[in-house]
Amino acid sequence: MELVLLLASLAVPVVVWFAVLRRRGGARNAKRRRLPPGPRGWPVLGNLPQLGSKPHQTMHALARQYGPLFRLRLGSAEVVVAAQFLRVHDTNFGSRPPNSGAEHLAYNYQDLVFAPYGARWRALRKLCALHLFSAKALHNMRGVREEEAALMVRRLARRQGEGEEAVELGQVANVCSTNALARAMVGRRLFTAVDGGGGAEDDASREFKDMVVELMQLAGVFNVGDFVPALAWLDPQGVVGKMKRLHRRYDAMMDGIIRDRKKAAAGDDGRDLLGVMLARMRDQQPLVDGEDGCINETGIKALLLNLFTAGTDPASSTVEWALAELIRQPEVLRKAQQELDGVVGRGRLVSECDLPRLTCLAAVIKETFRLHPPSPLSLPRVAAEECEVEGFRVPRGATLLVNLWAIARDPTAWGEDALEFRPARFLPGGAHAGVDLKGHDFELIPFSAERRSCVGRSWRLHLVTLMTAALVHAMDWELAAGDEVDMEEIFGLTLQRAVPLMVRPKPRLLPSAYAAEDQ
């Protein structure tokens, strides 16, 4: 409320000017094709004050009133919020609009996520796909993912033997996902302890998770300065100042990773992603063949930042949501455990080669991604040219947001139980048995779709499925306190739990399954 009052007072001197311009332009606009419908907004600020703390839910409610395609005016920006959109108009919406997050967090658009659509973006995406996310790279890193998942459950079992009960599941899962990705990206773990004993490694992992969560929340803020440039210098929400401080922490972390790698490599950079990029930088190879401009340390740090943030906490958050849903529905948890016992047994831990035979678990994963997509709203895209959608005019330069959270709750696609956790809908014979998570089925696109879809989708799917299987198979779960699971969510680039899931895991396998030495 204080922010709204501040902005309203700043807007008073220009209200009359805005009204005059609106009247002058009204006659001309009436002759043109209609813009999509949408709610009336404030002078100057438009609909910004109306978005609330959970814009994805606000937009879901607006879609029920105005239809699946509607318009918001956020300051001086025209924003179109849509559901089924990318299948036809993906080419026209290949780039991102300017924003403070890309400037102050992502090394001024030097990263992959916010880079303009073009040759450099394609080269970065190809680099990641080849060395991290291709079928060959995923196969080569299977042992890494299995080792980290096994390490996670063995240390959980050991903690229970030492009498420590309460576990913050998201933190444990985050260490596992971060170490698995770090070994694939930079050739080593970032953290060497997951047992929460208060040591330096545990403190570092918690600090890293806090940094990622803060980045996701800051980058998800609808920053007034992005939409009302005249107010940008004031930074009325304090967002830019927080971004700059957080960027300095990330930059120091990335500098340390690169520095350590250079010392350890001694001229042999290895074949992981960081090694490949350092070798290209040393040999002054251009990022894009036939063009000037070699990869440099800023570009390397920007790409590492993307991958560490997008590939770690979203994966662990999905696992946390999955376990929360299963604890709320014990019968579904029992069915998943019975399936795992039948396929894997109780004498060893689950491996990736077991996953194709776990149909119940696969349904749980799909249903978790449906109700709790990693990103509630797609990252914004901008219209390169004016286009027409469903009879409405979408002007050049308009920003597109796709409400992924709302699409997966549409009762016309998912039925009257669309808001309920029902993995059975994805089982053989279920109403949605043929739906996958690869972007082919536009009623379920948690990783977005088409050109700007998540390049790490396959890695995340492999890791989330394996981590969830390992935790469900190896442990029984009880809440640490209370009789209900709080399912409240916090909006950001990723959908975080408002209250961390605190649980008591109890080993359920034979002691020999947990007996291997820590990796």
Three-state secondary structure readout of 405-417: HHHCCCHHHHCCC
Mean pLDDT in residue range 402-413? 93
Q: Is the Cβ–Cβ distance between 336 and 421 less than 8 Å?
A: no
Question: What pLDDT score was predicted for residue 477?
Answer: 94
Tell me the pLDDT of the chain averaged across its residues: 87
Over the stretch 9-57, which tens digit does the pLDDT of each residue have?
333 333 323 333 343 444 444 345 799 999 999 999 999 999 999 999 9
Q: Is the Cβ–Cβ distance between 347 and 509 less than 8 Å?
A: yes
What percent of the chain has pLDDT above 90? Answer: 67
Over the stretch 462-519, which tens digit does the pLDDT of each residue have?
999 999 999 999 999 999 877 789 999 999 888 899 999 999 999 999 999 998 754 4
DSSP string, 293-318: -B--HHHHHHHHHHHHHHSSHHHHHH
pLDDT band at 368 (very low <50, low <70, confident <90, very high): very high
> Is residue 510 situated within a structural domain?
yes
> Is residue 54 situated within a structural domain?
no
> Is residue 204 situated within a structural domain?
yes
Q: Is the Cβ–Cβ distance between 294 and 281 less than 8 Å?
A: yes
* Higher-confidence position of 26 and 117: 117
pLDDT at 205 over 90: no
**Binding-site residue ranges for heme:** 454
> Is residue 31 situated within a structural domain?
no
Question: What pLDDT score was predicted for residue 196?
Answer: 42
> Is residue 169 situated within a structural domain?
yes
* Higher-confidence position of 339 and 442: 339
Structure tokens at 58: 């606000």
Q: Which of 334, 368, 325, 367 is nearest to 485 (CA)?
A: 325
Over the stretch 132-183, which tens digit does the pLDDT of each residue have?
999 999 999 999 999 999 999 999 998 876 666 789 999 999 999 999 999 9
> Is residue 26 situated within a structural domain?
no
> Is residue 391 situated within a structural domain?
yes
**Binding-site residue ranges:** 454
Alpha-carbon radius of gyration of the chain = 24
> Is residue 82 situated within a structural domain?
no
Whole-prediction pTM value?
0.90
Q: How many domains is the chain built from?
A: 1
Q: What is the CATH number of the domain that holds 448?
A: 1.10.630.10
Mean pLDDT in residue range 61-75? 94
pLDDT at 204 over 70: yes
Strand spans (E) along 60-145: 70-74, 77-82
- Owning domain of residue 266: 119-514
Over the stretch 258-285, which tens digit does the pLDDT of each residue have?
998 888 765 555 678 999 999 989 888 8
Mean pLDDT in residue range 73-89? 83
pLDDT at 195 over 50: no
Structure tokens at 53: 């703390």
Alpha-carbon distance of 19 to 25, in angstroms, equals 10
